Amino acid sequence: MTRRTRAVVLIATGALLFGGLAACGDDDDDTGGGGDKKSGKIALLLPETKTARYEAHDRPEFVAAFKELCADCEILYYNANQDASLQQNQVDQALTNGAEVLVLDPVDSASAASLVAKAKAQDVPVVSYDRLITGGGKPDYYVSFDNEKVGTLQGTALLEALGDKAMSGKVVMINGSPQDNNAKLFNKGAKATLAGKVTIGKEYWTPDWSPDKAQQEMDQAITALGKASIIGVYAANDGTAGGAIAAMKAAGFSTLPPVTGQDAELAAIQRILAGDQYMTVYKATKAETEAAAQLAYDLLQGKDSSQETVMINNGTVDVPSVLLEPVTVTAENVKDTVVKDGFWTVADICTPAYKAACTKYGIE
């Protein structure tokens, strides 16, 4: 991949509404302009449900954003439950059902190239959402965060947490799914940051991003390395972090080492406040879904992107891309990030078990 270029993208905020997926009957005047605006069908295809963000944030936020742009449009929604074959069938269904634009977050970044080709054969453009489609695929646009920087933020935070103890033991790396191109970018950014500064004792790639499998991997690392030698855990997302933490608690760690994460899941924010997880990476899905909705709407109108883009190479072509900035979240800035943005409310976070922790960090 060529050197990634970051862009500052300003996305207008809209109401956070879940909304139905069926077509609405509003007048064309509500679609953001006069009657010359084209309505139609688009498809949103998400990859899985084990990562909480997809159903909790991406789906409802995308629906709300797109309905703001095109109230008369119909959104066909599919979730592949981490099954690449199922996602292939869902793309077939979407095309059969008349989708004119696909917003596709691939289960398998490489094999999704065939899905792009199938859509293009029917003159249906494709937005590669969150994960870049590779393997010879030629999506029309890509929208995501700077995913190599996500790994950089994780690695930097881990080094800060370890301080002068960084070379005193072993770090366990629990990466994401080997089929997810983003997981490779997270790993690349983290390794570049950690190189020569820590010793990686064990490294794993976690099929399906499964927290249960991450827990098994951490169990294996504890057995191989011993509790006393593990000083930190690089976990690629909050689900794998939760699995690693569960394994360490079951193994009787008296004090948990710093553990990284990503996605700012509610359980992870609570673990961070309680001191079980050191950090997560917050990716403002509302900005990402709004950018994706605008790209899909522009394509439906037969127009080029109305947003600033940069070129990202997917191994075959340079793909016009909207990239957003990820943010490190630790206990000290939960209030000024996920709470301030309304990603999670105080009521969501500060359940009775976490009330004291919320008070400690001024989240009330």
Confidence of residue 12 (pLDDT cuts 50, 70, 90): very low
Average pLDDT of the segment spanning 271-294? 97
Residue with tokens 């990503």: 262
Give span(s): CATH 3.40.50.2300, the chain.
28-146+284-324, 147-282+328-359
Measuring CA to CA, how many Å separate 218 from each of 195, 209, 227? 21, 14, 11
Q: How far apart are CA 139 and CA 253, in angstroms?
A: 47
Quick one: pLDDT at residue 36?
66
Quick one: pLDDT at residue 22?
36
Quick one: pLDDT at residue 283?
96
What is the radius of gyration, based on Cα positions, of the chain? 21
pLDDT at 275 over 60: yes
CATH 3.40.50.2300 fits 28-146+284-324, yes or no: yes
Q: Using an 8 Å Cβ cutoff, are 133 and 109 in contact? A: yes
Quick one: pLDDT at residue 20?
38
Q: 147-282+328-359 — its CATH code?
A: 3.40.50.2300
Q: Using an 8 Å Cβ cutoff, are 247 and 215 in contact? A: yes
pLDDT tens string 316-327? 999 999 999 999
Average pLDDT of the segment spanning 170-191? 97
Instruction: Give the percent of the chain with pLDDT over 70.
Output: 90
**What is the number of other CB atoms lying within 10 angstroms of the CB of residue 346?**
11
Handedness of CA 364, 249, 327, 168 (dihedral sign): positive
Q: How far apart are CA 118 and CA 124, in angstroms?
A: 9
Q: Using an 8 Å Cβ cutoff, are 283 and 268 in contact? A: no
pTM for the model: 0.85
Instruction: Give the percent of the chain with pLDDT over 90.
Output: 89
pLDDT tens string 99-111? 999 999 999 999 9
Q: Which is nearest to 38 in space by CA: 297, 304, 293, 294?
A: 297
Q: How far apart are CA 64 and CA 75, in angstroms?
A: 11
H or E segment to which residue 256 belongs: none
Mean of the per-residue pLDDT values of the chain: 91
Confidence of residue 77 (pLDDT cuts 50, 70, 90): very high
Q: How far apart are CA 67 and CA 197, in angstroms?
A: 48
Complete edge-to-edge strand list for the sheet that includes strand 199-205? 199-205, 170-175, 230-235
Quick one: pLDDT at residue 103?
98
pLDDT tens string 16-65? 333 333 333 333 334 344 446 789 999 999 999 989 999 999 999 999 99
pLDDT at 97 over 90: yes
pLDDT tens string 233-251? 999 999 999 999 999 999 9
pLDDT at 177 over 70: yes
